[in-house]
Amino acid sequence: MSSNKIARINDDIQRVISAKLRDIKDPRVQQGMISVTRVETTGDLRYSKIWLSVMGLKDEKEFRRGIKSAGGWLRHELGAVLNLRYTPELVFELDHSIEYGAHINEVINSLDIRQDEDSDDGL
């Protein structure tokens, strides 16, 4: 299948899953602000790997159980919105890159770096 079509399908899946995550009533899933950071679908449309970033995550193990439990409902909703021959099986992964980036930003901001006042004199 062409990479442009897969890219469009990935975008559609990301949009639909992002909207439907707000409708999940399971308290294990509603631990913080959830963002879908990336979606990768196989060429045969059988599997979609969905990376989720959760700001304010309290218990990662419980979140994983909750999102796995809601996976069937999310797949059903995805199939109802998208008109695909196969509705892909959803595989969820946690993406810690946003938290890592925020941590690196804090470290950089906490460094005590003096500004060199004589930088113009030497050149």
The mean predicted confidence, pLDDT, of the chain is 87
**Structural domains in the chain?**
3-110 (3.30.300.20)
User: What region, left, alpha or beta, does residue 56 occupy, with left being phi > 0 and alpha being psi -120 to 50 degrees?
Assistant: left
63-102 confidence digits (pLDDT tens)? 899 999 999 999 999 999 998 888 999 999 998 887 788 8
Q: Is 50 helix (H, G, I), strand (E, B) or coil?
A: strand
- In the numeric block, the tokens 């919105």 are attached to 81
Retrieve residue 86's tokens.
């196969």
Q: Which pLDDT score, from 0 to 100, does residue 20 have?
A: 92
Measured distance CA(91)–CA(1) in Å, rounded? 21
Least confident of 47-51, 71-75, 109-113: 109-113
